[in-house]
Structure 1
């Protein structure tokens, strides 16, 4: 996994955490869903990259 992709996935996860937190604070369900989706998507992409990297060795 390249450094650029790692940063991109971590940024997506972080953005999701922030969006979800803002949604909770403002009681905005749409923002909460968007944040959760971004956070989970970033985590899954990171996990997939780690699995790919493990099998390349």
Structure 2
């Protein structure tokens, strides 16, 4: 799992808490900061997910190439 996924999820949670605190206290600035942090976290999390997907796809291609390579297939 990519570290950006974990960091992004953490930012989303932190932003959610900050937004709720802003709503509770009536502090519109804190509320907006929280929403902004949530969006930044979501982008970072999605970026990490995409990196994982690309890494998995490249591993699949590499595995398929190994199956088609006679030198690799003949290994025990």
- TM-score, structure 1 as length reference: 0.81
Runs of 4+ deviating beyond 6 Å: none
In structure 2, C-alpha distance between the alignment counterparts of 1:7 and 1:44, rounded to whole Å: 12
Q: How many residues were matched structurally?
A: 55
Which protein has the larger Cα radius of gyration, Structure 1 or Structure 2?
2
Query: Which deviations, in whole Å up to 9, do the C-alpha atoms of 1:1-50 show, x marking residues without a partner?
Result: 13xx4332222111100000010111111001110011111111001111
In structure 2, C-alpha distance between the alignment counterparts of 1:17 and 1:52, rounded to whole Å: 25
Measured on the aligned residues, the alpha-carbon RMSD in Å equals 1.3
In structure 2, C-alpha distance between the alignment counterparts of 1:52 and 1:37, rounded to whole Å: 23
Question: Is 1:17 aligned to 2:5, yes or no?
Answer: no
In structure 2, C-alpha distance between the alignment counterparts of 1:45 and 1:33, rounded to whole Å: 18
Kindly indicate whether structure 1 or structure 2 has the higher relative contact order, using CA contacts under 8 Å at least 6 residues apart. Answer: 1
